[in-house]
Structure 1
Amino acid sequence: MSWQRDALVTIEKLRAKLQQVEYEQKEPIAVVGMGCRYPRGVSDPGTFWRLIDEGIDAVTEVPSERWDVDALYDPDPNALGKMTTRSGGFLTGIDRFDSGFFGISPREAVSMDPQQRLLLETSWETLEHAGIAAERLVGSSTGVFVGLSYQEYGTLAGGLERLDGYVGTGTTASVASGRISYVLGLQGPSMTVDTACSSSLVTVHLACQSLRQGECSLAMAGGVTLMLTPGPFVEFSRLRGLAADGRCKPFSANADGTTWSEGCGMVVLERLSDARRNGHSVLAVIRGSAVNQDGRSNGLSAPNGPSQEAVIRSALAQAGVKPSAVGYVECHGTGTVLGDPIEVQALGSVLSEGREADRPVIIGSVKSNLGHTQAAAGVASLIKVVLSLQHGRIPKNLHFEAPNPHIAWDELPVKVASEA
């Protein structure tokens, strides 16, 4: 009967629509462009690859133009107002900015947090790397997702008489992403995220979700960190969390803490089907991502192993990837006494499922090169992995002389990339 045929057609249409919705929710996201500024002269993906491929240590003594390290250094972690290391990772030229290029007056530029300036420059370079002309994005639904934690520039502004009408917008976190959207004329979602060390990876996760849900057609995601005062070093010295020699030594027996560094990284993301249709170069594919929280652990800043296992399982499930298929993991890997063993244990517990004993997961951390770039750390790891895929080579993990005895290496299917 005709009504039965009509009903069957309707059911088939609904089934097809549901399948399409399910596909869109899981559609892979393409990385089509990357831009970055990191210590030791890293100014683009090419110089970034050269640094990690040649095993260069980007950490140096605190530059004299930042602050007087001789006056601030004290190896005693109980010394008030002092820092227990003389080293970190620092960008040069953060006082330089071509304001006219972005249509910003010199007066306004002076009141802008250098982090906002760096984000503008890096975002523009990221679009160039993707082969996308910025003027073609005006009025588009392109989204901007930025990770940012420090807001120190406002503390340097001086008294109330220093407020000139630009300090507010120049130092407000929300404007860090909003200014990119404004300057480029983008009308998609625009937000600044602060989840501490995970900030720039959370922005990538949010951007992928936004793309799959159709909120934006293109997305830029990443993060930035500049340290304009010695406060982060002094504060973490009290917690006994800084490496004395200023080097992150992930997974190593002589790991004694992290070191703070600066940087900025951005990626351009697009639905894989759109990237292919638009003729954009697909540098890598993000199949899945997940976010959770540690909940209650043995301290506010202490990691939680079961929560780490849960988020890994969730990301694998979202991606439709079996644990045994993972060949490499770019780790958080801060080189802290507590964090590394918990992270490796969580990875080993999840990725051992169905894995052959003779095929361990290779692990590494770009923090062994750069130090911990904080809100820009996650995107640095992502860019490293994309570059490794492009070059077919996993760079050597630095400062790994002897394995951390608190990690059950014999029981876990993991191996540090002690050589390229």
Structure 2
Amino acid sequence: MAIVGIGCRFPGSASTPEAFWDLLRHGVDAITEVPSERWDAAALYSADPTVPGKMHTRWGGFLSDVRGFDAAFFGISPREAMSADPQQRLLLETAWEALEDAGQPVDQLAGAPVGVFVGLSARDYSELQSRAGGVPHDIHAATGAAASIAANRISYALDLRGPSLTVDTACSSSLVAVHLACESLRRGECSLALAGGVNLLLAPEVTLQFAKAGFMAPDGRCKAFDARANGYVRAEGVGVVVLKRLSRALADGDRIYALVRGSAVNQDGRSNGLTAPNQKAQEELLRAACRRAKVSPGEVQYVEAHGTGTALGDPIEARALGAVLSEGRPASEPASLGSVKTNLGHTEAAAGVAGLIKVALSLHHGALPPSLHFERANPHIAFGELPLRVQETLAPWPRSARRRLAGVSSFGFGGTNAHVILEEAPPPPDSDAPTTNDAREHLLLLSARSDEALRALARTYADRLDHAGSLAS
């Protein structure tokens, strides 16, 4: 399967694939204190985690705007838009942007067998409305709060006729959604698929619960595989990828970011606790994904780890990776490890697709971005004995005689695990057409449903053209 389009909005103003790649390659830490419009973090904060009703962290990865939505663009009334969970609205806009990035005219998809597979687990918006006593008694309130509608609203708005479903496996939701999308494409249920996930932090209750459970890092940083690893930080984000069969993508002349060679999903079963990981299950998952991708584990050069930065999870994940990736691997070629959570925080239901997009962009640009906050290896991870190393700096990932291969892991805190094997895109076909540096001015036509939306679209194009110009120079 080919990844031919990407739409995303992540902390640090990473609202396009280009902006996200800039954040990654420059090693940007996008964590901030909780914005005042979300909740009063100062009133809920206490350095002592045992104080009832208080949390020992006031950090997170937040999107700059979760209220804005161009309802008129999608033919949605203001009343219905207000009733819809902002996660539904963000998914709808990001799905459109992913199709635009894929060069796919959306009107040509109407009535086509296009699948929609999204991960979503947060329910903050409906809980906020309920507490405020502001839930209207109409159908818009029901559809706006229903998780199933997150996928169905995209299918309805774009008149897509393929499978349409929302997945909730907690933190692995979006990578499970990618797995299901690829399986649906293989079975011929759809000719094109949108897959991804979303997560918003609109209320403090879950963060408070996780802090009391010991999951949260007091300093608000995911220090993956580091000796200081003491928990993670929650974050927001939305990501959507457009998937096609490779044969069709090549026939259509699509720009291909990367290939999904194979994927697998499994469960921890009875581990040391409901939320405790299972090393044996992770090893079985990795081997299953490699078998389905028809690759040797020793060929995988990079793994985008689940990498939350917890004292329990990191060593188990590293040992599972080491046990599997050592098979057929030269001792002089350790696999690199990284975690996008060190940049963004843990985007939970969107975490898997965030890692997938990171690796797809890394393959596309031929570079491995740094994993942040790694100073001294976790003493419970024997890096000297494992064929693994943490990717600490931006480094080239050039094409060579060996194909570039990477793995992406995502684990749900209830034990549902997913792993995807990505491969570099095939080289573009040789073109006999002469290349010219056309410096002439060209007319760019823009349209929108309102003056405000038109101005926003113009700014987006201007920023994108400026970015392309800076890369060319």
How does the TM-score come out when normalised to structure 2? Answer: 0.82
Q: Distance in 2 between matches of 1:349 and 1:239?
A: 30
* Aligned equivalent of 1:175: 149
Matched, 1:85 2:54: no
- Please point out which of 254, 262, 266 is paired with 1:288: 262
d(CA) in 2 for partners of 1:317 and 1:214?
A: 21
Residue of structure 1 equivalent to 2:21 = 49
In structure 2, the residue matched to 1:106 is 78
Q: Distance in 2 between matches of 1:56 and 1:360?
A: 25
In 2, the alpha carbon distance for the partners of 1:157 and 1:262 equals 19
Task: Give the C-alpha shift of residue 165 in structure 1.
Answer: 2.7
Residue deviations 1:135-179 (CA, integer Å, cap 9, x gap): 000000000000000112112224487323311000100000000
> Which runs of structure 2 are paired with 1:5-404 in the superposition (5 Å)?
29-158=1-130, 159=133, 162-404=136-378
Deviations 1:4-37 (A, max 9, x none): xxxxxxxxxxxxxxxxxxxxxxxxx000000100
SS in structure 1 at match of 2:267? coil
Q: Write the distance in 2 (CA, Å) between the matches of 1:370 and 1:262.
A: 8
Q: Could you tell me how far apart the structure 1 residues matched to 2:215 and 2:198 are?
A: 22
Partner Cα distance (2:347, 2:169) in 1:
14
Partner of 1:413: 387
Cα distance between partner residues in 1 of 2:52 and 2:284? 39
CA distance in 1, matches of 2:134, 2:379: 54
The residue type equivalent to 1:275 in the other structure is A
Q: How far did 1:93 drift?
A: 1.5
Q: Deviations over 1:370-398 (max 9, x none)?
A: 00000000000000001111111111110
Contact 2:129 2:135 in 1 (8 A): no
2: CA distance, partners of 1:162 / 1:78? 38
d(CA) in 2 for partners of 1:112, 1:353:
49
Aligned partners of 2:128, 2:91: CA distance in 1, in Å? 20
Q: Distance in 1 between matches of 2:276 and 2:26?
A: 33
Q: Provide the aligned length of Structure 1 versus Structure 2.
A: 392
Aligned to 2:403: none
Moved over 4 A (4+): none
CA-to-aligned-CA distance 1:102-129 (integer Å, 9 cap, x gap): 1000011110100000001100000000
Helix, strand or coil at the partner of 1:290: strand
Distance 2:145 2:214 in 1: 30
Query: C-alpha deviations, 1:39-85, integer Å up to 9, x for none?
Result: 11110100000001001000000001111111011122222222210
CA distance in 2, matches of 1:212, 1:179: 24
Secondary structure of the 1:292 match is: strand
- Name the CA distance, whole Å, in 2 between partners of 1:44 and 1:344: 31
Q: CA deviation at 1:282?
A: 1.5
**One-letter identity of the residue aligned with 2:23:** L
**What's the offset of the Cα at 1:134?**
0.7
Q: What is the letter of the counterpart of residue 83 of structure 2?
A: S
Query: Partners of 2:124 and 2:344 in 1: how far apart?
Result: 22
Identity %: 60
Counterpart in the other structure of 2:456: none
Measured in 2, the distance between the counterparts of 1:190 and 1:55 equals 36
Q: Is the 8 A contact 2:135 2:141 kept in 1?
A: no
Structure with greater Cα Rg: 1
**Structure 2: distance between partners of 1:237 and 1:161:** 29
SS of the counterpart of 1:220?
strand
* C-alpha distance 161-60 of structure 1, shift in aligned 2 (>3 A): closer
What's the secondary structure of 2:231's corresponding residue?
Answer: coil
How big is the shift at 1:419? Answer: 1.5
How far, CA to CA, are the matches of 2:157 and 2:309 in structure 1?
A: 39
Q: CA 1:135–1:86 in 2, change beyond 3 Å: closer, same or farther?
A: same
SS in 2 for 1:81: coil
Structure 1: which 5+ runs fail to align? 1-28
* Greater strand proportion: 2
Deviates more, 1:390-399 or 1:138-147: 390-399
Give the distance between the partners of 1:93 and 1:167, measured in 2 at CA.
Answer: 22
